[in-house]
Structure 1
Amino acid sequence: MTEPSASSRALALLALLAPAVALAHGGEHPALTVSEVMGWWTWDPLVLGTLGLSAFLYVRGVRTLWRRAGTARGVRRWEVGAFALGWLTVAVALLSPLDRLSDLLFSAHMTQHELLMLVAAPLLVLGRPHLPALWALAPRARARVTGWMQHSGVRAVWRAVTGPFLVLLLHALARWVWHIPSLFQAALRSEAVHAVQHLMFFGTAALFWWALIRGRYGRVGYGVAVLFVFATAAHTSLLGALLTFARSVWYPIYEGRTQAGGLDALEDQQLAGLIMWVPAGALFIVVGLALFAAWLGEAERRVAYTRAELPEEGAP
């Protein structure tokens, strides 16, 4: 029987990602146990402060809004639940042992990024965070901010930034540019650069999902949404496939860090590529198909409305 290829082993490891957290802290160290790795929680004060402030503003805003308008008015219960799940996903991505593992394993790093872009960002957008944030302010401050947001210049900038084609371009650039070896490895060497990388990944993903979920598809049409979802699926899958089938290591900084886990750097890279390619691609396809179904439904409703407006044959 022939020995399985590196890509086959990487594919098998995709299904075993959870047990794979018991990995080395560098090639010169012995294998770590799960209990050791689970103690790798990081309590970054900036992340904790941001998460704490966002939770405080959201809860305060929802309570104020519901007292004024009635429970579940303005922001529905399921939207509050979506925000809570998105908030927890950010905490897992940036505070859990996954954050330290990302310095040792490219596959863990990829998992962290996909959690931020494909799970946290859409859930937080579904939670309508802008409304609770406004209602968390004092009445005078809320009136000033609302007035500023209604300014024609501000609205024009927001409409441009959340336009589907610009969002598609920005998110694609963030994904591809930050996977250039020199930039990706710079993020591993510098906490400041790493923070910028995370902000660009999350920020462009949030704009992407905002345009998709809260976008103006009454004006541009569901067809555009379907187009840019499948375009995003295509280019992210391509990047994942390039990582999976590469014959050399893109990020030499990971070499020697994964041996105790039974992976070499190339296998780890293949696993990272599969994580980007398979789960991310599948999610985009599901969203694209849902939008396509909505597009067909909208077309049927318009046809039915047009027929209802037309006079019957022979009618005066």
Structure 2
Amino acid sequence: MKRACLIAGLFVLALVWLGPLLDAWRESFSAHMLAHMGVVAIAAPLLAIGTQLGPTSDASRAFVLALPASLVEFIVVWSWHAPALRALAESSLFVTAIEQTTFLAAGLFLWLACLPRRDPVITGNAAGAFALLLTSIHMTLLGALLALAPRPLYGADEVSCFGIVLSAQHDQELGGVIMLLVGAAVYLAGGVTLLARMLATPPRKTV
């Protein structure tokens, strides 16, 4: 299981980083969003599962790290979607590489901090669930802002993605929808899964 997840995660990374999303279609915001979601919402959890050493009974690690990891993810995601940084990433492959590396690092940090664990006092799973649900909320907010913005925030020219020519406004709207459908949904599913696991944990017996 872990080996398969690790291989799948590496395959997704290769598909995103070596394919046309960050090369031929680098000026398309929707292509950027597909790459972003591929890294943080698909590759990162797969790699986290594939590299996890094993479940732990130590709840303190998740309790201490999960919320800071969610905050780091928030800062990284919202910062790179500021128009100035987005334009910089579009204009330079070097900056794009930095952007993608920080996306992966933040995603791995969050998913590794939140992965299920054997926790007799359930605080670890509770912290992980809260962190993933919090991340889903800010992903939803950003996706909605991008999809509903009355004007394009990232350029004004037409762009091409998958051979389809889109206006800057439609390209941005599509990018916001991708974030809502992929990013927000994946983090929500992860948070709900951990929450269900926590609620299914039998109460601790007291002596």
- The alignment's TM-score, normalised by the length of structure 2, stands at 0.86
2:34 — aligned with what? 111
1:284 — aligned with what? 187
CA contact (8 A) 1:89 1:116 kept: yes
2:43 — aligned with what? 120
Q: Secondary structure at the match of 2:166?
A: coil
Letter in 1 for 2:2: E
CA contact (8 A) 2:29 2:175 kept: yes
Superposed displacement of residue 203, structure 1: 0.3
State the distance in 2 between where 1:238 and 1:116 align. 19
Superposed displacement of residue 115, structure 1: 0.4
State the distance in 2 between where 1:255 and 1:193 align. 21
CA contact (8 A) 1:83 1:129 kept: no
State the distance in 2 between where 1:291 and 1:235 align. 18
Superposed displacement of residue 124, structure 1: 0.9
1:263 — aligned with what? 166
Q: Secondary structure at the match of 2:106?
A: helix
State the distance in 2 between where 1:180 and 1:216 align. 39
Letter in 2 for 1:175: V
2:203 — aligned with what? 302
Superposed displacement of residue 217, structure 1: 5.5
Question: Residue 275 and residue 215 in structure 1: after superposition, are their counterparts in 2 closer, same or farther (change >3 A)?
Answer: same
State the distance in 1 between where 2:169 and 2:120 align. 46
Superposed displacement of residue 261, structure 1: 2.4
Confirm or deny that 1:250 pairs with 2:153. yes
CA RMSD of aligned residues (A): 2.4
State the distance in 2 between where 1:100 and 1:119 align. 20
- Higher relative contact order (CA closer than 8 Å, sequence separation 6+): 2
Question: Residue 295 and residue 215 in structure 1: after superposition, are their counterparts in 2 closer, same or farther (change >3 A)?
Answer: closer
2:67 to 152, 160, 165: 165
Q: Secondary structure at the match of 1:248?
A: coil
Q: Sequence identity of aligned pairs in percent? A: 29
Q: Runs ≥4 in structure 1, deviation > 6 angstroms?
A: none
Larger radius of gyration: 1
State the distance in 2 between where 1:279 and 1:196 align. 22
CA contact (8 A) 1:223 1:292 kept: yes
Superposed displacement of residue 214, structure 1: 6.2
State the distance in 1 between where 2:20 and 2:183 align. 22
1:155 — aligned with what? none
Question: Residue 217 and residue 109 in structure 1: after superposition, are their counterparts in 2 closer, same or farther (change >3 A)?
Answer: farther
Superposed displacement of residue 222, structure 1: 2.1
1:189 — aligned with what? 91
Q: Which runs of 5+ in 1 are unaligned?
A: 1-77, 132-158, 310-316
State the distance in 1 between where 2:120 and 2:69 align. 18
Superposed displacement of residue 99, structure 1: 2.6
CA contact (8 A) 1:102 1:112 kept: no
- The alignment's TM-score, normalised by the length of structure 1, stands at 0.58
CA contact (8 A) 1:217 1:225 kept: no
Q: Secondary structure at the match of 2:151?
A: coil
CA contact (8 A) 2:70 2:110 kept: yes
CA contact (8 A) 2:22 2:32 kept: yes
Q: Which moved more, 1:174-183 or 1:276-285?
A: 276-285
